[in-house]
Amino acid sequence: MSFEIEAFNSIYASITIAQCQIRIGRTVVAKALCSGIGTLRENTDEGQLGSIDANVRLLSADEPDDEIKTGTVIEILQSGQDTKTGWVKARVGGRFPVGGLTRLGLEAVNE
């Protein structure tokens, strides 16, 4: 087991507020980490839009085959949120696999 996976498992077990789930279509990855989803409303020449800034980490072994690519729209459910209304949509802006983990850089769906 790599250092990265050991660190992921330790953080997942000890910092429950960082736990989240990821939904890609009908597939749910039940064990993932997200320190929080930052949202910002911006005024532009085209109007007002919502921006998201977040990073999500999951075990590469739990990643669905060929389903998460840059541009894929996923949903995140943070720890303690209602499973019916708490899902937040985001688009994958970057996918970074390293040491048995995959980090997803997320952005707003409309960016």
Chain centroid offset of residue 10 CA: 18
Structural domains in the chain, CATH included, are 3-107 (2.40.10)
Cα 5 from Cα 66, distance rounded (Å): 21
CA–CA separation, 104 and 89 (whole Å): 13
Q: What is the mean predicted confidence (pLDDT) over 32-36?
A: 89
pLDDT of residue 27: 92
pTM for the full model? 0.84
Pairing of strands 101-107, 47-59: antiparallel
Identify the pLDDT of residue 11. Answer: 94
**Residue-wise pLDDT tens digits, 44-92:** 787 777 677 789 999 999 998 877 999 999 999 998 887 778 899 999 9
Average pLDDT along the chain:
87
Q: Copy the structure tokens of residue 15.
A: 């910092």
Q: Which residue has the tokens 């209304």?
A: 85
Is 110 exposed, middle or buried (CB count within 10 Å of its CB: 0-12, 13-18, 19+)?
Answer: exposed
Bigger pLDDT: 36 or 13? Answer: 13
